[in-house]
Structure 1
Amino acid sequence: MSNVVHIFFVLFSMVLLPACSRQVPEEEYDLVIRNGWVLDGLGNPAQKADVAIVGDRFVKVGAVTAAGAREIDATGKYVSPGWIDMMDQSGQVLLKNGRAENKVLMGVTSAIGGEGGTAVPAGELRAYFRTLEEQGISINFGSYYNAWQARSAVLAENITTVTDADIAAMQAQMRLAMEAGAVGMSSTAFYPPMSLLTTRELIEMSRAIAPYGGIYAAHMRDESEKLLSAIEEMITIAEQASVAVEIYHFKSAFAPHWGSEIHKAIDLVNRARSRGIDIAANQYPYTAGGTGIDATVPRWVWEEGEEEAVKLLRDPDVRSRLKTEIADPHSDRMVNNSGGWQNITLANAYNEKYTDYHGKRFTEIAELVNKDPADAAWDIMLEALPNRAYALYHLMSEGDVKAIMQQPWVSIGSDAGAAEVLGEVDAIGLPHPRAYGTFPRIIAKYVREDGLLTLADAIRKMTSLSAKRMRLSDRGVIKQGKYADVVIFDYDNIQDNATWQQPLRTPTGIDYVLVNGVVVAEQGKHTGKTPGRVLYGPGYQSQ
């Protein structure tokens, strides 16, 4: 070979080699999922396909001819984007144990927490998020910052007079949280003292998050007799603050209105959406909610704080007055909403003396302790302090749950936290089956058994709908270039095994769960891997 030809050949090779090296050789896929029925997450019918992953991303969907470093045979199984929990309660517990085993084992790969706010104040939020990733988490996690957190940073707890300067300071807290990575603002105005938050305060704080693309999500002031007025408040805030709003755990929690009011509520939301209001909701697939026994006590008792409330609740004359008040059919507390004490069960007394009463109705407990049901409940509540004793409130009808689920703008949220120890209660101390069964239940009951949803639409509600809502543009779908969050499940055998009687049982039929391309659950067991990432909100500004 002449010197001229040799030099030409070397130079030509140098030009070609970098181009060739940029392509992924087929034998170097990190993981290939073979022969599964792929649900893309967008609501399209399942397609038989292979899925190839390199690093944390999908790189090919279709016929993958060469092998990966690891292969999963999904023959006869469905391959779905990872499921997104729109109402998570894991903000605190992830600092103690980032594995979130009960979440992972029911297919959750991403969770949005913060109904009650971030686990730390706004000024510490950046460090908190860094700590999660440094310690390791198995799921992707984002969080709202609560309006009451902003208010409390500015005002003492029970102050009702709010000045323009106070509002400005609250807005500054909101901006601080948004720039640190919060996904938006939450509120829980149903509960005292958070019910002191006025519509004006919520509008003005929402105005602070709107430029960042944040969402306002709320446990509304009322989910019972005044459900429609509570939704109207959400719509007003959305209109006046130009902000997207999300209704937490959408329901009609008022026994006298079962079967009727929810249809008016749905129509109210649909009419708002038709005129351009960005309003949507999430729900959990159960007819009972869970919260503290304190929710049975009239609001005024809590106006001066917990210490004063405890004194009032120990006074027999006050007790007599309270019993009369909650017997009023227009009372907005949980006894009337549930249709009576017979529809409320003790969930967690935080007291060994009452352990045998867990799962019993308060009417049954009352007979066993020879007390009025209200006295039995409130005594258990007071004896649990400083812990918050919990109850399950059977305050929804199955028909209403189904009516909500059929709305295309309703996504899925468990309203439950990660368990610090698998097989124990979740982070908020409430043994409700939703902490272990929410997502498989959607498929097992409402798709396979009831035929209420198609499988493709159920998956859409659990994936792309949530991702789009939360501005997670790279998640929620199986598509080349997107993050490789995956659930592989057996449609015929997927089952939520958690029940009211045994709420801490893990599901079956979920074979694999991947987060960012890493297998975190395999054949019903957690792998110990922690590849999760913080889901920073759209206003995040790195420093």
Structure 2
Amino acid sequence: MKRKIFGCLVAAVLLVSNSAAPDYDIVIRGGRVLDGAGNPWVKADVALKDGRVVRIGTVPGRGKTEIDATGRYVSPGFIDMMDQSGRVLLANGAAENKLRMGVTTVIAGEGGTPVEAAKIPDYFRQLETQGISVNFGTYYSSTQARVTVMGDGAGAPTPAQLDAMGTEVMTAMRNGAFGITSALIYSPSSFQSTSDLVTLAKVAARCDGFYATHMRDESEGLVKAIEEAVEIGEKGGVKVEIFHLKAAYAPGWGKLMPQAIATINAARARGVDIAADLYPYTAGGTGLEIIAPTWVWADGVQKGIERLRDPKLRERMKREVAAGSMPGWSNLVHASGGWANVRLANGFSDKYRQYHGQSLEQIGKALNRHPADAAWDILLEGLPNRSVALYFMMSEQDIETALRQPWVSIGSDAAASQELGAVDALGLPHPRAYGTFPRVIAEYVKRRPILSLEDAVRKMTGWPAQRMGLTDRGLIRDGMRGDIVIFDYDRIDDGATWDKPTALPTGIDTVIVNGVVTIDKGRHTGARAGSVLRHECKA
């Protein structure tokens, strides 16, 4: 009888024990944990609760969700330092192409915010209300401030106009922007002087903000452009981030990048807080409008379009394209080594769809047109969309040289796609939108001994988080946000190519955002656990 009662008690205890609430939301078991700081991996369990990492090591309790990571790597979620998703997330917050690359946080805003400075809080609230699957932060564009105050034409602002621009910048900073950006290769951003940018940088500096820049020249004048960015940082008192560092000038391959790095290192040595990001591809992607000299756009976009339609002005433009770059204009045809290295990516018209993927040299021959005329015809036909091309301007040697620098992080320069498998929201079929982050590991750790795995992960996690002041992200440590990617080192690969730019990567099967499984067995769970990241301004 006693034996029977004892047996019932044991069964009851086991029943209570098995039915007790889980100790954690998620426990990741037995993975090779890379902490994001560059340390070697350790074999450990990782427990998450209430959106944060709460235990690392041997976890005796159980999780509501248990994930077996045996033989796989457990890393902080990747941070995209140059994202273009500010607008598309309003239409679809899933950002699945980003998540499939292991990206859990994006920093957008090269072109600014999709709303004016005063409406940024409403914009952020809309993102939060609708729900986003990645964490999102953004810069505000100095060009936005300029256009708001004085339109999209050339010309120097008056002191009153510059003050008004500063007011716009301060409004954006107080509303959560991480700093100001410029894109000085494009009009009307190119009309901003160094002095104007120093003035606006000083405003951002009051909030410990950044000056992040697509520099005035990434080609023959690369070093001078870096020197300008350094000057703005020093005089403006801001941190400087160089977007998509590249030596985009075929005649200068192997020479310009070492000079650029030496210039940045010299600035860092004297205390300038400057760093850079890059995407690991030999072609950039941008609009066909860059083929027209800057003076074409000096009186605004509409006047520029009228000039493109003028046959006489086109003859002048073609002579200038043939002559190379000029002050205030980077000639990307010249930088690419000629029309044969500029490939039409998307003309946004049925008329020219058959030429997608062909060089402008090939298209010109097929149409019996000068390649420049073909480019501008395609541009005009595609309006109001922005027809885009791939400019093959970089060398693998220079990419490797840049990647080796400890202060270089990774930024895709791509947007989320509104639908998985479609081109990104920019309409640009470039493999960087689907392949950037897995490519860093697959190409530069596995296929070439350029980076160690630990350092590659650091460049995509701990370093960018520290750079952006995201003190609770980028590392797997107690108390940190639960942004985690689990990947199979043997399988990880970037499937996207120039011919198949939207092919999905492999080897990344689990992605967790703020403690919520968002990619599970390679599929989006529908979770919208992402947060809007607001830069704090105490001014």
Provide TM-score, normalisation by structure 2.
0.94
Identify which range, 392-401 or 312-321, moves more after superposition.
Answer: 312-321
Q: Deviations over 1:72-115 (max 9, x none)?
A: 00000000000000000000000000000100111110000000
Rounded to whole Å, the distance in 2 between the matches of 1:330 and 1:154 is 30
Rounded to whole Å, the distance in 2 between the matches of 1:223 and 1:392 is 15
Query: Which of these residues, 436, 440, 443, is aligned with residue 441 of structure 2?
Result: 443
Does the alignment pair 1:204 with 2:204?
no
CA contact (8 A) 1:513 1:521 kept: yes
Q: Deviations over 1:1-25 (max 9, x none)?
A: xxxxxxxxxxxxxxxxxxxxxxxx9
Q: Deviations over 1:145-196 (max 9, x none)?
A: 0001111222232252322222222111111111111111111111012111
Query: 3-state SS of the aligned residue for 2:526?
Result: coil
Query: Which of these residues, 208, 214, 219, is aligned with residue 219 of structure 1?
Result: 214
Q: Deviations over 1:335-358 (max 9, x none)?
A: 001100100100000011222211
Match for residue 293 of structure 1? 288
Give, in angstroms, the shift of residue 372 of structure 1.
1.6
Rounded to whole Å, the distance in 2 between the matches of 1:251 and 1:26 is 53
Match for residue 404 of structure 2? 406
Query: Which of these residues, 159, 167, 171, is aligned with residue 172 of structure 1?
Result: 167
Rounded to whole Å, the distance in 2 between the matches of 1:430 and 1:170 is 31
Query: Which of these residues, 270, 278, 284, is aligned with residue 283 of structure 1?
Result: 278
Query: 3-state SS of the aligned residue for 2:450?
Result: coil
Aligned pairs (5 A) from 1:347-386: 347-386=345-384
Give, in angstroms, the shift of residue 140 of structure 1.
0.2
Aligned pairs (5 A) from 1:327-476: 327-331=322-326, 332-476=330-474
Match for residue 99 of structure 1? 94
Distance 1:49 1:111, change over 3 A: same
Does the alignment pair 1:530 with 2:525?
no
Rounded to whole Å, the distance in 2 between the matches of 1:425 and 1:451 is 31
CA contact (8 A) 1:94 1:132 kept: yes
Aligned pairs (5 A) from 1:18-417: 27-158=22-153, 160-331=155-326, 332-417=330-415
Query: 3-state SS of the aligned residue for 1:50?
Result: strand
Rounded to whole Å, the distance in 1 between the matches of 2:278 and 2:203 is 27
Give, in angstroms, the shift of residue 240 of structure 1.
0.7
Rounded to whole Å, the distance in 1 between the matches of 2:315 and 2:159 is 41
Query: 3-state SS of the aligned residue for 2:378?
Result: helix
Give, in angstroms, the shift of residue 26 of structure 1.
9.3
CA contact (8 A) 1:467 1:473 kept: yes
Distance 1:329 1:122, change over 3 A: closer
Rounded to whole Å, the distance in 1 between the matches of 2:131 and 2:304 is 40
Rounded to whole Å, the distance in 2 between the matches of 1:316 and 1:428 is 30
Amino acid paired to 1:518: V
Query: 3-state SS of the aligned residue for 2:358?
Result: coil
Rounded to whole Å, the distance in 2 between the matches of 1:245 and 1:456 is 25
Give, in angstroms, the shift of residue 330 of structure 1.
4.2
Rounded to whole Å, the distance in 1 between the matches of 2:236 and 2:294 is 28
Query: 3-state SS of the aligned residue for 1:87?
Result: strand
CA contact (8 A) 1:182 1:540 kept: no
CA contact (8 A) 2:154 2:299 kept: no
The unaligned stretches of length 5 or more in structure 2 are 1-19
Match for residue 504 of structure 1? 502
Q: How many residues align?
A: 517
Rounded to whole Å, the distance in 1 between the matches of 2:349 and 2:260 is 39
Distance 1:166 1:405, change over 3 A: same
Rounded to whole Å, the distance in 2 between the matches of 1:126 and 1:240 is 30
Match for residue 3 of structure 2? none
How large is the Cα RMSD of the aligned pairs?
A: 1.3
Distance 1:122 1:508, change over 3 A: same
Q: Deviations over 1:417-470 (max 9, x none)?
A: 000111111111111000000000000000011010000000000001100111
Provide TM-score, normalisation by structure 1.
0.94
Rounded to whole Å, the distance in 1 between the matches of 2:128 and 2:459 is 27
Query: 3-state SS of the aligned residue for 1:310?
Result: helix
Give, in angstroms, the shift of residue 540 of structure 1.
7.2
Match for residue 9 of structure 1? none
Query: 3-state SS of the aligned residue for 2:83?
Result: coil
Query: 3-state SS of the aligned residue for 1:86?
Result: strand
Q: Deviations over 1:483-536 (max 9, x none)?
A: 000000000110110000010111110010000000110122111100000011
CA contact (8 A) 1:349 1:358 kept: yes
Rounded to whole Å, the distance in 1 between the matches of 2:398 and 2:406 is 15
CA contact (8 A) 2:152 2:299 kept: no
Does the alignment pair 1:513 with 2:508?
no
Rounded to whole Å, the distance in 1 between the matches of 2:157 and 2:187 is 17
Amino acid paired to 1:481: G
Q: Deviations over 1:99-132 (max 9, x none)?
A: 0010011111000000000111000000100110
Runs of 4+ in 1 over 4 A off after TM superposition: none
Rounded to whole Å, the distance in 2 between the matches of 1:294 and 1:483 is 42
Query: 3-state SS of the aligned residue for 2:66?
Result: strand
Distance 1:44 1:440, change over 3 A: same
Rounded to whole Å, the distance in 2 between the matches of 1:369 and 1:162 is 43
Query: 3-state SS of the aligned residue for 2:449?
Result: coil
Rounded to whole Å, the distance in 2 between the matches of 1:443 and 1:278 is 27
Amino acid paired to 2:243: Y
Q: Deviations over 1:245-272 (max 9, x none)?
A: 0000000111111110111010000010
Distance 1:26 1:264, change over 3 A: farther
Query: 3-state SS of the aligned residue for 2:152?
Result: coil
Identify which range, 413-422 or 351-360, moves more after superposition.
Answer: 351-360
